[in-house]
Amino acid sequence: MQSLPRVALVGRPNVGKSTLFNRFIGARQAVVADIAGTTRDRLERDLTWNERQFLLVDMAGLEPTLNEKSEIRIGMQRQVQVALQTADVIIWVVDSIEGVTGTDKIIAELLRRTGKPVVVAANKCDHPKHELSHMEFAEFGFLPVFPISAMHDRGIEPLLDEVVTLLPEQGQGEQPDTERELKIAITGRPNVGKSTLLNALVGEERSVVSAEAGTTRDSVDTIIPADNVFGNLFTRWRTVRIIDTAGIRRRGKIDRSIEGWSVIRSFDAIDAADVTLLLLDSTEGLVHQDTQVVERVLDAGKPLIIVVNKWDAVLTEKNLIAGTEEDDKAQGAFLDTLRHSLRFINWAQVIFVSALTGLHIKTLGKLINNAYIAWSREIKQEELDEITGQLRKMPRLVNLRKITFEHSKPPVFHVHTHGKYLPHFSTRRYIDNALRDFFELGPTPIKIWVKRSTDKEE
């Protein structure tokens, strides 16, 4: 899929970014698709203007840190860093009633350093007589300045006209099938360490990226520039979205005893995610809710990584050193029990980590990356014909006629056979394993439909 160019709305709080965002949505000539509204639908929208399609990104979610006066400078720098890393065009919204402020000067400097095209939208020019007030923003050199009123729908079309002329040409920029955002769901029951893991992933940059909830919304996704997570491992994405799941970052706000609630919330997150992490507490193991999460992941056809957290506690308790043979043995024993309880998903990856100390967190990044690659892999018919030829040499597979690939995410195959009977379950298992081996589909669920074709059809 060709990924869309991104247009970011940035600016101080209260200048009218949200109003403008909504106005753009109202002005859109055609909505192609709303980006799978994970949990916060205001954040990004797919728009088409003058036959150019782009993703409008509202950075308003970053504002909470900006409200604290002392944080303004740092907050703004970080906001611009995000824009720098993820946007193709930046719309800088300023307040023409208030005029140029000290913060605007800082923002202008930071925007200039990004080297990205910047369009200044001088908002709150509600009436023609206000129009000249936008002129003072010309001093920053991002010209022309567009006088607009988001609230009264003035000047919106010329602004959009300008924005789309600044979009990169189609086919330029990132590789065509580079996905721009990796969506990860971190599930698990309360206290397994979800928030701690989120912190470990986001680290210092957490406040940059946090899309904090407004008071009227009930969910919080965290969006991180991809190269802030796992170093340069995630180069195929621009951003990583950690989908809000119950229990993450809500300490004290919800009654954690309502465990059922957290499972339901996990379901939504799994449906929206590319890759799901299921956290277990290594001092406690698997519980019923975990099995429910696993079943949902299977239904949704998403890759699953089982993250056995708090492994540091096990090491301490057993007086073991990480990476030693004894550590391996302890992991092996835990794995045996786990595999026994989760026989139905023998493909799920398992990793032992400590979100608290950072143990194996980098390796977790590799697993996520590999899982995504397997899940989204496109398979060619020539490759399938090759494996079909090999499989047919097996006595029990002489009736195999053809294997076709329907689609990825998750990979779905059709197995066509001759003969009177459908292949036995164990034979299907064999085909499943062979496809996994051949195409390195290890960490993803796959679906196989078996079809018996009559002579006539051939």
What does the alpha-carbon distance between residue 251 and residue 228 come to, in Å, rounded to a whole number? 25
Helix residue ranges, H only, 29-69: 63-67
Tokens 């398979």 correspond to: 379
The pairing of strands 349-352 and 400-407 is unpaired
Which stretch, 110-118, 150-158, 329-337, 383-391, contacts ligand GDP (CB under 6 A)? 150-158
Comparing CB distances to ligand GDP, the nearer of 278 and 374 is 278
> Closest distance between ligand GDP and the C-beta of residue 124, in Å?
4
The first and second tokens of residue 356, run together, are 């608290």
Residue 15 touching ligand GDP (CB under 6 A): yes
Q: Within positions 382 to 401, which residues make up the interface with ligand GDP, using CB under 6 A?
A: none
Q: Counting every residue, how long is the chain?
A: 458
Residue 96 engages ligand GDP in binding (rule: CB under 6 A) = no
Tracing tokens 């990480």 back to the chain, one arrives at 322
Separation of alpha carbons 277 and 193, rounded Å: 12
- Residue 302 lies near ligand GDP (rule: CB under 6 A): no
Distance between CA atoms of residues 123 and 104, nearest Å? 14
CA 414 – CA 429 distance, rounded (Å):
14
Based on the shown chain and the rule CB under 6 A, indicate whether residue 210 belongs to the binding site for ligand GDP. Answer: no
| Nearer to ligand GDP (CB atom), residue 190 or residue 419 | 190
Terminal Cα distance for the chain, rounded: 33
> Does 247 participate in binding ligand GDP (rule CB under 6 A)?
yes
Distance CA 349, CA 367 (A): 8
What are residue 7's DSSP bridge partners? Answer: 56, 89
The residue within the footprint of ligand GDP, chosen from 75, 155, 193, 303 (CB under 6 A), is 193
The tokens of 407 are what?
């689609």
> Residue 217 CB, nearest distance to ligand GDP (Å)?
14
Give the nearest distance from C-beta 14 to ligand GDP in angstroms: 4
Smallest separation, CB 95 to ligand GDP (Å): 8
- When asked if residue 150 is in the footprint of ligand GDP (CB under 6 A), the reply is yes
Q: With H, G, I as helix, E, B as strand and everything else as coil, classify residue 242.
A: strand
- 6 is a site residue for ligand GDP (CB under 6 A): no
Which of 62, 119, 192, 304 is close enough to bind ligand GDP by CB under 6 A? Answer: 192
Residue 43 CB, nearest approach to ligand GDP (Å) = 12
Joined together, the tokens standing for residue 111 give: 């925007």
Q: At what angle do helices 102-114 and 72-86 cross, to 10 degrees?
A: 30
- State the minimum distance, in angstroms, from the CB of residue 333 to ligand GDP: 19
CB 347 within 8 A of CB 442: yes
- In the complex, the smallest distance separating the C-beta of residue 265 from ligand GDP, rounded to whole angstroms, is 12
Mask 335-374, x = binds ligand GDP (CB under 6 A)?
-------------------xxx------------------
CA distance 183 to 175: 19
- Name the minimum Å distance from CB 228 to ligand GDP: 20
Return the residue of 5, 6, 10, 18 that touches ligand GDP, per CB under 6 A. 18
Residues that bind ligand GDP (CB under 6 A): 11, 13-19, 60, 123-124, 126, 149-152, 188, 190-196, 247-248, 309-310, 312-313, 354-356
